């Protein structure tokens, strides 16, 4: 089982420094995390930090969308550059896909780091991720220089039954000014149990000289495993590093305000290979059970399916009670809230299967009491971890205070995170929603300075040719 315990960021997007504690106790990760803050405070930036991690291991070798894990529903349509449709254990969403998400279009980590560097910052980007993997702690650090290349990468994890350094790669450049390079220093340290053979140690040195800096070492290893016999790689390097790589790769993200309506598996309608009919049937069953339990007027759902040239064309229909009788209502004609719930279902399945799910505005368009009920069920489940941004303060009422995090922005624009459970005099039976609204934890939006009457007057005056004040 894989769960995050802490994320530390430096010079990342709007964060000069961020230390986000995702643990319930020192040894136990939190089951879920609710991240609050004003619009533009950096909530989406935190979600992007996880996306940054996962994409950093996918820049070399076969593109991420060519990589289908067990249970995938279909394959990437390379002629369209759109809609990957995996089953829930490989749902991966960004409403505006990054450049490196498209097939046959390679890039490197300089693209990643340059896109995520704080504007105007001269310092290095640093991202540290502490996570628990099958009950053992791991610590992964990446640091990027001013040119976007990676200059430091370290991984600490359990090897031979003990916590130890697996590897530490360091590349520093010293200059006398902005143009002349005085010295380049490369340091490569590996645990003595890291390599299975001296031959692969030498091969790794060549790979690092060729690729590292523009690609992370984990991305290099991923590429090598794709090209090589899996049994060969199992003997070439320690199993622990591949274990970390696999869990990072399998994170599930919903990034972007429209994640629900543009998810990578589209449960509303689409096309699939005929060989995947059983998976479509399984999804139909899950949708039918889910909605019949959470709504009074939907008794089920089914797919209208036609087959042509070895492919299935499907359209989801809800069996909804309207004016005394059940009628078929296409999912695409349903309300925004129902469609959001429909597209949320793959993420919930992934979560209940033990995955890490990170979502931006997960509850948008969903009734607060329904979302609270789902969150209570998630909190009582023993597998998986959910990290979500939200504006729904109602969810604070029943949430463990250790799971609630609020982003504060001070007068200088510096951002910090307050964990409600770490505040003095915070108890589980406190009404933390009311305390938040009173300003006890900060992170509240300001609206009392808005004078729409004056704004509209200025708008009309300038529209008619007047000057700005």
Beta bridge partners of 269: 315
Q: Supply the pLDDT for residue 299.
A: 96
Q: Supply the pLDDT for residue 447.
A: 64
Residues 6+ apart with CB under 8 A from 401: 419, 420, 421, 423, 426, 427, 428, 430, 432
Q: Supply the pLDDT for residue 423.
A: 67
Q: Rounded CA gap, 397 and 395, in Å?
A: 5
Q: How confident is the model at residue 256 (pLDDT cuts 50, 70, 90)?
A: low
Q: How confident is the model at residue 93 (pLDDT cuts 50, 70, 90)?
A: very low
Is pLDDT at 186 greater than 80 in this prediction?
Answer: no
Is pLDDT at 239 greater than 80 in this prediction?
Answer: yes
Q: Supply the pLDDT for residue 328.
A: 96
Phi then psi for residue 165, to 5 deg, are: -75, 125
Phi then psi for residue 77, to 5 deg, are: -85, 95
Q: Supply the pLDDT for residue 105.
A: 41
Query: What is the model's pTM?
Result: 0.84
Q: Supply the pLDDT for residue 455.
A: 84
Give the number of residues written for the chain: 469
Q: Rounded CA gap, 442 and 287, in Å?
A: 39
Find, among 53, 58, 151, the residue nearest to 99 by Cα.
58
Find, among 9, 15, 13, the residue nearest to 413 by Cα.
15
Tokens coding 300: 């089920």
How would you classify the pairing of strands 32-36 and 325-330?
unpaired
Question: pLDDT, tens digit, for every residue of 291-333?
Answer: 999 999 999 999 999 999 999 999 999 999 999 999 999 999 9
Identify the H or E element spanning 158: strand 150-159
Residues 6+ apart with CB under 8 A from 98: 55
- Of the chain, the percentage scoring pLDDT greater than 90 comes to 50
Tokens coding 52: 């940054």
Task: Please answer whether residues 110 and 8 qualify as being in contact, where contact means their C-beta atoms are separated by less than 8 angstroms.
Answer: no
Find, among 354, 366, 424, 356, the residue nearest to 392 by Cα.
366
Which single residue is written with the structure tokens 């997007």?
Answer: 13
């Amino acid at each position: 089982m894989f769960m995050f315990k802490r994320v530390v960021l430096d010079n990342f997007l709007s964060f000069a420094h961020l230390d986000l504690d995702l643990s319930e106790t020192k040894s136990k990760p939190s089951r879920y995390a609710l991240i609050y803050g004003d619009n533009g405070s950096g909530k989406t930036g935190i979600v992007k930090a996880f996306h940054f991690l996962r994409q950093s291991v996918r820049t070399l070798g076969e593109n991420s969308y060519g990589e289908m894990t067990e249970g995938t529903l279909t394959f990437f349509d390379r002629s369209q550059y759109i809609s990957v449709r995996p089953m829930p254990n490989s749902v991966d969403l960004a409403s505006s896909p990054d450049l490196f998400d498209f097939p046959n279009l390679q890039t490197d980590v300089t693209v990643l780091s340059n896109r995520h560097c704080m504007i105007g910052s001269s310092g290095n980007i640093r991202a540290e991720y502490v996570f628990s993997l099958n009950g053992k702690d791991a610590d992964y650090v990446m640091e990027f220089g001013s040119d976007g290349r990676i200059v430091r990468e370290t991984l600490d994890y359990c090897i031979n039954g003990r916590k130890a350094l697996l590897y530490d790669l360091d590349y520093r450049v010293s200059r006398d000014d902005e143009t002349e390079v005085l010295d380049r220093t490369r340091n490569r340290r590996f645990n003595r149990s890291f390599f299975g053979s001296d031959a692969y140690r030498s091969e790794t040195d060549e790979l690092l000289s060729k690729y590292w800096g523009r690609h992370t070492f984990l991305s290099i290893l991923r590429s090598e495993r794709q090209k090589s016999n899996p049994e060969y790689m199992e003997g070439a390097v320690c199993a622990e590093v591949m274990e970390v790589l696999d869990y990072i790769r399998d994170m599930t993200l919903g990034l972007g305000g429209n994640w629900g309506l543009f998810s990578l598996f589209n449960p509303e309608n689409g096309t699939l290979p005929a060989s995947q009919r059983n998976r479509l049937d399984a999804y139909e069953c899950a949708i039918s059970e889910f909605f019949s339990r959470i709504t009074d007027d939907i008794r089920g759902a089914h797919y209208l399916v036609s087959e042509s040239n070895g492919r299935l064309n499907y359209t989801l229909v809800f069996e909804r009670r309207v004016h005394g009788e059940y009628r078929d209502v296409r999912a695409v004609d349903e309300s925004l809230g129902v469609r959001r719930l429909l597209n949320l279902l793959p993420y919930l399945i992934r979560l209940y299967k033990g995955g890490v799910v990170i979502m931006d505005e997960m509850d948008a368009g969903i009734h607060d009491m329904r979302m609270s009920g789902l969150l209570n069920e998630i909190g009582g489940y023993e597998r998986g971890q959910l990290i979500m941004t939200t504006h729904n303060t109602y969810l604070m009422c029943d949430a463990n205070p250790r799971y609630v995090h609020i982003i504060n922005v001070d007068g200088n624009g510096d951002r910090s995170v307050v964990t409600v459970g770490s505040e003095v005099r915070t108890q589980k039976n406190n009404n933390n929603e009311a305390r938040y609204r009173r300003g006890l934890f900060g992170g509240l939006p300001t609206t009392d300075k808005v004078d729409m009457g004056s704004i509209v007057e200025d708008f009309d005056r300038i529209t008619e040719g007047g000057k700005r004040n």
